[in-house]
Structure 1
Amino acid sequence: MSDRGGRGGRGAPRGQGRGGGGDRGGGGNRGGQRGDRGGQRGDRGGQRGDQGGQRGDRGGAQRGGASRGGGQQYGRLGNDEYTNGPDIYTPSGGETTPSKKVHDKEDAVVASNKGLSLSTLSLNERQLPLRPGYGTLGRVIHLRTNYFAMEIDPNKLIYKYTVDIKAERKKRNEDGMEHEEPKAGRKQRQAFAILFEEPEFRNLHPGLATDYANTVLTSTPLKLGPTKSKVFDFIYRDVEDRVAPPNATRYSFTITEAGTVPTQELLRYLASTTTDPSDFAGKADAVQALNIIVARTPNFEPQVFQSGQNKFYRYPAAQQNYLDLTSGLIAVRGYYSSVRTATARTLLNLNAQTSPFYPACGMIELINSFGPNNGWLNVEKFIQKLRVKTEYLKDKKKQIEVKVKTIQGFSHQRGEIRDERTGKMRRFGNADFDHGSARTIRFDCPEFPRDSPISVQQYFLKKHGMTLRSPDLWVLNCGTADRPVWIPPELCTVMPGQPYRGKLDDRQTTNILNVAARPPAENARRIVGDGQQVVGIRGNGTAALSAFGLSVDTNMIVVFGRVLPTPPLNYKGGSSVQTAQAAWNMRNKQFSVPKPIIRWSFLRLNSTNGPTEFGRAHIDLFKQALRAAGLGQADPVGSQGQQGFSATLDEGNHDANDKTIEAVLRNIANSGIQFLLVILPGKGPVTYNRVKFWADVKFGIHTVCAVNEKVQKEVAKGPGGMQYFANLTLKFNLKNGGANQLLPPEKLGFLRNGDTMLVGIDVTHPAPGSMEGTPSIAAVVSSVNSQYAQWPGSIRCQQSKKEMVSALQEMMEERLEWWIKQNKNMCPRKLLIYRDGVSEGQYQKVLEEELSQIREACTTIYRKYKVALPKINIIVVGKRHHTRFYPTEDKYADMISRVKGNPPNGTVVDRGVTMEKGHDFFLQAHTALQGTAKPAHYVVLLDEMKLGADELQGITHNLCYLWGRATRAVSICPPAYYADILCERGRCYLHKYVAGFHPRGEVFDPNLSPWAKGVHQRLENTMFYV
């Protein structure tokens, strides 16, 4: 037996997913809280156990004996040297007004556009409409933005080389080699590091950069010989290896000349006013090269870790400064960087990020912090695929060798299982026990035949002279599926720089928001200070930029913004409200179009841990709220002489609870009840999801859910608690076909004519940790009349992680037919479509794959009515960008709201950082409730209506006040937002397949899925999903 501790095992695949985020601009910034649990979204993850617990002993925690929250204690969250300071970011030096040169060039480009009728653009902007002009409406303000001007030396050549990688390794127990598919990741990055030790590269630093995939850039030419290509062969070794192991992978890198980066052409293109699509076909290549160069400094810095494209994180130098998220995770601050082009200049976008990582600590500390009482399967899932360092092996000179291993999991009992895809039996498991310990796991060891099978504990004593301190802890498999390597956790240290890709629980989510959601001035100080150091545009890192003829100004650029006026809103009886702070009060007002709730009831879902409550006091408060909103005051329908319904759930028994929920909702549906208020025993997702599945899909009951704890807290306030129930009535009225608030016709622009159907489209992908093959959800919502208050929708499953909507034609036909039915058989003359969730690289796909389906749907429907086809506009709504704005002075800022220093609500920016030729704008319609405000980014992909800048920006802004679930303006236009939450509702129906609710290793089978599209007939063409 080799000195790796034993063989013979298989670990489970690692759960996938993501957590954390950027500066989390404006928690709640979409207005209202997002779930339908009485106005609060809540975290649906539930509690995973006692958050307290004692710190476990590092060497001797008993198996399963430490409570959650034990282990290493790290630093407090949040504050550092960037925290304290004025509410407005006012650096010394730098510009305080927008560049006149850029402003004049922007006007020149627009003037050039007006002379062209059907021009199109190239690359990412291919076939996108030209900007018709810049907006003029609103109060002009000055804003700093997290973009930094980049200077490019036009005389400096940047040499480009393509890389072709081949890898092979020796076959086990036989002669010859086997092909190994190179994969981007840590190992390939290390292979590049070995390549750069070759003489041809050794003296190029800092003028050497790579994307660690297929491109190398140099500031001086490589000497590759007359063929302009050269092959470099070498044996792979890990960072900690002094020599390569015997069965190491052999790499072959073929480096081939690919010319120079066209930086001169890029500069000419940005300085030009012409819009000929043949202007510059190499823009994308040039920008990609610049991004590779900017990333060079953090990529070569060992204390900086990359997680995701262009995102770089730096651990605190000392463990006591770790930002503790609890349960084994820490928050690590980092930065996103991206080179962007704008009119007349190249810019570097730099933004703050915060993400959850594993701490660099002992494995026992990590397990104790996570909490062994969570169960061995959850612990295994938490640590799978972690890289750990061991320091117990010795080389021939008796020196300690540092080895890095990857955890496959714990032990699993041997057995067989039927493969659902092939129908054949396959073997699994690697030991005699599930989650065995060093004392119980045994293996055959030729090195010690008399003791074979030998325990892991005995092996380490005999082989290494080590007496394990914790032999009863779960032993780790750090080998492969076929050849497990058993290592006690006390000998493993977690390597730094490993992001957590699972779902955060409630407390972790709260904690990471405390770190990530920072006020705007602090956010700006952090970007200019630590951020510029990390990415290398300040300090020693600038040497790499200089080697390639680049430099980046360390001052944020300043751009023009305009604050659009907030619209008034109309309620019943001609009353109106003003909305100066993007929020308003409905006191003494009824919904614009109230639809009384007649047959309603409530359902108390009790838990074995305690009953829920909804008695006379609760009923009276809810009836008051209904009456105040204009929805009547009917008493709830009851069962067997009692008001309302109730059922008791068995804590943790999901299958039994599902049957209970089905039975009680079936009874309620048979009672003719149309609307149901459901009191949930807690925030856990399972109960909520099953209520929605049975009510929406099977029985056709409109439901609004509220968590018992929240309900009791509000009712305890007496009359003051009525506001909570008033929030619930917003959803009841929308579900019943009503209109909560309306814009005055003059604020609707051309929409007031009533011949335009607004459409929202979105696709949501499987959540982190979902079963392999779990489908994506596509949704389409649309308006029904000129009030733009009702948004019924269509919903479908589609291929997992497919970005474009597969059944868009079918869903658009459904929406058109319903609109026509609601408008006396009149077809809409215009379609204004807001498409959510599309990245820049997918703009062309929308026009190629989705627009064709939309046109086909129109042709099918309009042919029946013998009318002309509609004009179509498509606008992409971007939420995942990294653009932020910071007022330059108090007079340009929101200094009234809770978070001071953000731009005022209604701020629109269409100059300075927008497309050099296309039509786009940033709009912050809302008031941020938390952190730095994040504007929405709107990009016009199709403009058959020929809308002007002021017209499109004004309509989009005003529509943000028609979000029916709150008395606040929201951050993205309601058509896109409603499509988004309809997709989320589809996820509820597939809860069995999402994280934590499916057996390990199973693959989604569409033939066994309980849901594929649509809802119960009674809920079709309603807003059941709000």
Structure 2
Amino acid sequence: MSTAIVRPMKRPGTGRLGTPVELDTNFFPASLPSGLVISQYAVSIYRQPKQGSSSAEMENVASTQPVVWNKAIFRAFLRRNQRALGRTLAYDGRSICFASKEVSRDCLAVKFPLTVDRDGNEARQKPGETAKIEQVAVEIKHANYLKFDDVLSGRVGDSLFNQYLTAVDVVISASHMTSHVQVGRSFYNASGAKPLGRYSVTASAWRGFYQSARLSPSGLLINLDESYTAFWNRGGEPLINLVRDANNGRDLNPKDPRAVRSITSTLKGLKVRAVHTGITYRVFGFSSKGAGQITFEVDGERKTIADYFHSAYGIRLRHPNLPCIKTQPKKETYLPMELLEVSEKQRLMGKLSEDQTRSIVKIASTRPSNRRTAAVNTMKQLNHSNDPVCKDFGIQVKPKMIGVRARVLQTPFIRYTDKVVKPERGAWKAPRDRCHQPGNLFSWAVINTSDLRERDLAHFLKELCTRAASAGINIPNQKPKIVQMRRNSRVDSEMRTLKHDFDTIESLRVKGARLQLIVVIFDRRDTDMYNSVKRTGDIELGVPSQVLLKKNLISDRGLSMFCDNVLLKMNAKIGGGNFKALRYQDKGSVKRNHMTDPTFINYPHIVLGADVTHPMAGDSNPSVAALVGSRDSYMGQFSGAIRNQTGRKEVITELGDMFKEVYSRWYAGFGKRFPAAAIIMFRDGVSEGQFEEVMQIEVAAIRNACLQISSSWKPKITYIIVTKRHHARFFPRSQSSGDRSGNIDPGTVVDTGVVSSQFYDFYLNSHAGIIGTNKPAKYTVLVDENNTPVDALQGYIFRLAHCFQRCSRSVSMVNSAYYAHLLAFRGRAYHKDNSDSGSVSSSHSIVPSAPKFHRYVENILFFL
């Protein structure tokens, strides 16, 4: 029983505290003609049903086929029927198109036939050709009139608001559909592509741009930002080269299951073209044998794939021992990879290698001044005001960034044991004896899976213990038990043995303490081994683990700093606290233009963070929902809960039970056992189109959980969406007004000019720039029953960004949302690897239950 929320709250006003500053931003002013009415049409694309279907009629497949296929067909439809239609149509690639005026009524509800190839391009069967063609049909029906004077004046309800902005997005994007590849709202082409990693054949980073229409209190704006993503390299490249390069320069051995699984995960879904027929296929996996060993029956005779191609096509395979490509997800149909080439303009959908990830991060990390120039130049090149489609709709865009008024908030002070420091430019130097709440590490052990020499390991451990003493962390046993893992042993087995030894051999324990921490040293990053360590420690043994790489332990240069960073994690994992950000009023009386604190911090309150991480395409694992809850008043320690749920579902379905789990730990931590008077929820990972749905369900779930705990308990809820996946960027007007990297200062808040006209939101840049251009977090307040003043809420969030226990820097978003993000990804480590499965999780799949954390770790930041 809960009270439904009618709609998100309205903006209560803007903040006033902080140092005023003028910024430029990558939003460009746009205008629409007065009285503009856009006609919206429903688009259907019909094709013949698949073989075996009971239906003989053509099926509408516009909502299920790839956007690139739909758009190719729609372009062919326009070329054939533009004169009859009488208007320019802008198509979204799915089921909607727009026209500035009504199209001819004679063209409505009529199926226009087309003959196309597999890529959707208009085609005609030629004698001797074997490339597959098919019959399709396009139909449009009138759906709606969009009166833009209504949306600009605020007369359109929230449910229709996004339809208007979608129409503008589709129109301003229509002209560059043929010259660019669309990925979401970003557009890319191969001009200036840069190779990713050591193997330039495999993939490259394509530069593009993101553009989206936004409606602010000041009018219509176009947000444009530089963007990069990975594409498979130039079309026509032999697939055999791509596979070899993706396999670190080696031919793929069908008897190496680990390599086959890895390459399958990387290439699944890749579109390839058969050079001997011109037919296109997708990669769904690899055979376990070579083309010279796989046999099948042809005309009553069994032949190998290699023999078949020699007899049927006169092709003698050069690599009959290489595995073949599986071209259907559920049937054993194979083609030799040497007869296939990579189709053009394909985005790399699989997981990037470490080398590729480093490369694309470096390429995309452009300095603020360069990013600003790129956005302005791109907008000039797009030239929307003279674009034929935009001119037909009367849309004009000025290629000049708008300016916004911002404020730089007061920086909170950081307290250690008995010292207080003030951050400078988002970072601070910790004093000696620095831990606010140092832990006691009595019993610990090291598993060395690498070839790190004994003397190098001893040197590292000595430095680690020395730095721990400086930090005030108590490590009585400075010579922990060391296990050198044997060649054929498993790290999880070694962890179990260690736990058993500490449980049974009294001499291994200091002051009788159980095994508190296992340090594991890897030669290199190994996801499978890392996941095994975390599953075994977090779930089975109840022993936190700290994974380190050998390369970071063998050099004196920077070793002390590395040890300091490791100790921040270790101290948190054994239940300690590294520092706390002081409340603003703790530094003296509140003065004019000084930050204030929300009133709810004077009462018992719990801060939550929530996130959902989803499986990659082709991975049949479920999504993982994570919730964290504070356990102390200074937001140092958090506990967490995870649940598995249907893949791709964003709403947290078991939030009520998860809340009761973390709240019980919060309640047990307070001796006087007062119930929380306020619940402050920071929700990560929700797109704007899902705000209301997620808010309605999740806030109701928390309220119902409170009533289940106590029928009289009705705490005040504040529910805030944290967004990092946006493209708003802010630039200092002058070099003197930014930090050393050219970015805006930590604490810069923007709540005017480019904010939403629909929601109560603001941008807060809470971290210092290091490389590239900072991306501030956007906070959207959907519910605030605590009636928190704008200045107090913004200052509170900025302070929480200084409470992240893993580094002595402020971070890019509030700490609880950051912790939830980390915990959700930790939940993925508990899954088995299903990336080579042919199925994808769906609403009809049985979702396995998430494992429960061991009771020894459930109250601490073991996932840090």
TM class by smaller structure: 0.7 to 0.9
- Partner SS state of residue 548, structure 2: strand
Which residue in 2 is equivalent to 1:661? 495
Cα separation, partners in 2 of 1:374 and 1:564, compared to 1, 3 Å = farther
Q: For residue 792 of structure 2, what is the amino acid of its counterpart?
A: E
Cα distance between partner residues in 1 of 2:221 and 2:538: 48
Indicate conservation of the 8 Å contact 2:632/2:666, yes or no. Answer: yes
| TM-score after normalising by structure 2 | 0.87
1:198 aligns with 2:80: yes
Q: For residue 305 of structure 1, what is the amino acid of its counterpart?
A: V
Residue from 150, 164, 176 that aligns with 1:298: 176
- Partner SS state of residue 158, structure 1: strand
Which residue in 1 is equivalent to 2:589? none
TM superposition shift of 1:365: 3.0
Q: For residue 793 of structure 1, what is the amino acid of its counterpart?
A: G
Cα distance between partner residues in 2 of 1:138 and 1:410: 57
Cα separation, partners in 2 of 1:922 and 1:474, compared to 1, 3 Å = same
Q: For residue 693 of structure 1, what is the amino acid of its counterpart?
A: R
How many residue pairs end up in the alignment?
822
- Partner SS state of residue 196, structure 2: strand
Q: Which deviates more from structure 2 when the two are superposed, residues 491-500 or residues 669-678?
A: 669-678
TM superposition shift of 1:736: 3.5
TM superposition shift of 1:769: 5.9
Which residue in 2 is equivalent to 1:37? none
- Partner SS state of residue 229, structure 1: coil
Alignment of 1:171-186 (within 5 A): 171=51, 181-182=61-62, 183-185=64-66, 186=68
Cα distance between partner residues in 2 of 1:783 and 1:258: 49
Cα distance between partner residues in 1 of 2:170 and 2:775: 27
- Partner SS state of residue 369, structure 1: helix
Which residue in 1 is equivalent to 2:227? 353
Indicate conservation of the 8 Å contact 1:142/1:561, yes or no. Answer: yes
Indicate conservation of the 8 Å contact 1:745/1:752, yes or no. Answer: no
Cα distance between partner residues in 1 of 2:426 and 2:667: 33
Q: For residue 572 of structure 1, what is the amino acid of its counterpart?
A: T
Cα distance between partner residues in 2 of 1:950 and 1:886: 22
Alignment of 1:29-40 (within 5 A): none
TM superposition shift of 1:462: 5.3
Cα distance between partner residues in 2 of 1:347 and 1:567: 34
Which residue in 1 is equivalent to 2:725? 880
TM superposition shift of 1:495: 1.8
Alignment of 1:381-780 (within 5 A): 381-390=265-274, 392=276, 403-408=278-283, 412=287, 434-437=288-291, 439-440=292-293, 444-445=297-298, 453=302, 464=313, 473-476=322-325, 484=333, 486=335, 488-530=336-378, 533=381, 536-537=382-383, 542-573=387-418, 575-597=419-441, 599-607=442-450, 616-636=458-478, 643-650=480-487, 656-670=490-504, 672-682=513-523, 683-713=525-555, 716-717=556-557, 721-747=559-585, 749-750=597-598, 753-768=601-616, 771-772=619-620, 774-780=621-627
Which residue in 1 is equivalent to 2:592? none
Cα distance between partner residues in 1 of 2:743 and 2:553: 33
Task: Please report the RMSD computed on the Cα atoms of aligned residues, expressed in angstroms.
Answer: 3.3
Cα separation, partners in 2 of 1:673 and 1:611, compared to 1, 3 Å = farther
TM superposition shift of 1:212: 2.1
Cα distance between partner residues in 1 of 2:338 and 2:635: 62
Residue from 934, 957, 962 that aligns with 2:798: 957
Which residue in 1 is equivalent to 2:657? 810
Which residue in 1 is equivalent to 2:757? 916
Which residue in 2 is equivalent to 1:285? 163
1:719-770 Cα distance to aligned partner (Å, 9 max, x none)? x633322222222332343332123333571368541424233233344367
Indicate conservation of the 8 Å contact 1:340/1:349, yes or no. Answer: yes
1:219 aligns with 2:91: no
Indicate conservation of the 8 Å contact 1:829/1:870, yes or no. Answer: yes
Which residue in 2 is equivalent to 1:258? 143
Q: For residue 645 of structure 1, what is the amino acid of its counterpart?
A: I
Unaligned runs of 5+ in 2: 255-259, 586-595
Cα distance between partner residues in 1 of 2:339 and 2:833: 36
TM superposition shift of 1:700: 1.8
TM superposition shift of 1:530: 3.8
TM superposition shift of 1:925: 0.7
Indicate conservation of the 8 Å contact 1:612/1:679, yes or no. Answer: no
Which residue in 2 is equivalent to 1:323? 195
1:656-704 Cα distance to aligned partner (Å, 9 max, x none)? 4433333333333555434224132232122222222222222222332
Residue from 364, 368, 372 that aligns with 2:244: 368
Cα distance between partner residues in 2 of 1:838 and 1:443: 50
TM superposition shift of 1:345: 0.7
1:114-170 Cα distance to aligned partner (Å, 9 max, x none)? xxxxxx99xxxx712111111111111121111111111124443221123432247
Which residue in 1 is equivalent to 2:809? 968
Cα separation, partners in 2 of 1:661 and 1:467, compared to 1, 3 Å = same
Cα separation, partners in 2 of 1:770 and 1:725, compared to 1, 3 Å = farther
Cα distance between partner residues in 2 of 1:174 and 1:615: 68
Indicate conservation of the 8 Å contact 1:796/1:1014, yes or no. Answer: no
Cα separation, partners in 2 of 1:830 and 1:295, compared to 1, 3 Å = same
TM superposition shift of 1:204: 5.3
Cα separation, partners in 2 of 1:268 and 1:746, compared to 1, 3 Å = closer
TM superposition shift of 1:215: 1.3
Residue from 702, 707, 716 that aligns with 1:871: 716
1:81-120 Cα distance to aligned partner (Å, 9 max, x none)? xxxxxxxxxxxxxxxxxxxxxxxxxxxxxxxxxxxxxxx9
Cα separation, partners in 2 of 1:612 and 1:941, compared to 1, 3 Å = farther
Cα separation, partners in 2 of 1:1007 and 1:741, compared to 1, 3 Å = same
1:52-102 Cα distance to aligned partner (Å, 9 max, x none)? xxxxxxxxxxxxxxxxxxxxxxxxxxxxxxxxxxxxxxxxxxxxxxxxxxx
Indicate conservation of the 8 Å contact 1:209/1:217, yes or no. Answer: yes
Cα separation, partners in 2 of 1:917 and 1:286, compared to 1, 3 Å = closer
Q: For residue 818 of structure 2, what is the amino acid of its counterpart?
A: Y
Cα distance between partner residues in 2 of 1:839 and 1:591: 38
Which residue in 1 is equivalent to 2:833? 993
Cα separation, partners in 2 of 1:914 and 1:460, compared to 1, 3 Å = same
Cα distance between partner residues in 2 of 1:610 and 1:741: 33
| TM-score after normalising by structure 1 | 0.74
1:408-441 Cα distance to aligned partner (Å, 9 max, x none)? 45764xxxxxxxxxxxxxxxxxxxxx3423x555
TM superposition shift of 1:901: 1.4
TM superposition shift of 1:558: 1.1
Q: Which deviates more from structure 2 when the two are superposed, residues 971-980 or residues 488-497?
A: 488-497
Structure with higher RCO (Cα < 8 A, 6+ apart): 1
Which residue in 2 is equivalent to 1:6? none
Q: For residue 814 of structure 1, what is the amino acid of its counterpart?
A: E
Cα separation, partners in 2 of 1:500 and 1:349, compared to 1, 3 Å = same
Cα separation, partners in 2 of 1:815 and 1:441, compared to 1, 3 Å = closer
Indicate conservation of the 8 Å contact 1:771/1:1002, yes or no. Answer: yes
Cα separation, partners in 2 of 1:588 and 1:254, compared to 1, 3 Å = same
Indicate conservation of the 8 Å contact 2:188/2:207, yes or no. Answer: yes
TM superposition shift of 1:559: 0.9
1:883-903 Cα distance to aligned partner (Å, 9 max, x none)? 111112123211x2xxx2111
Cα distance between partner residues in 2 of 1:174 and 1:959: 59
Which residue in 2 is equivalent to 1:137? 17
Cα distance between partner residues in 1 of 2:700 and 2:655: 10
- Partner SS state of residue 153, structure 2: helix
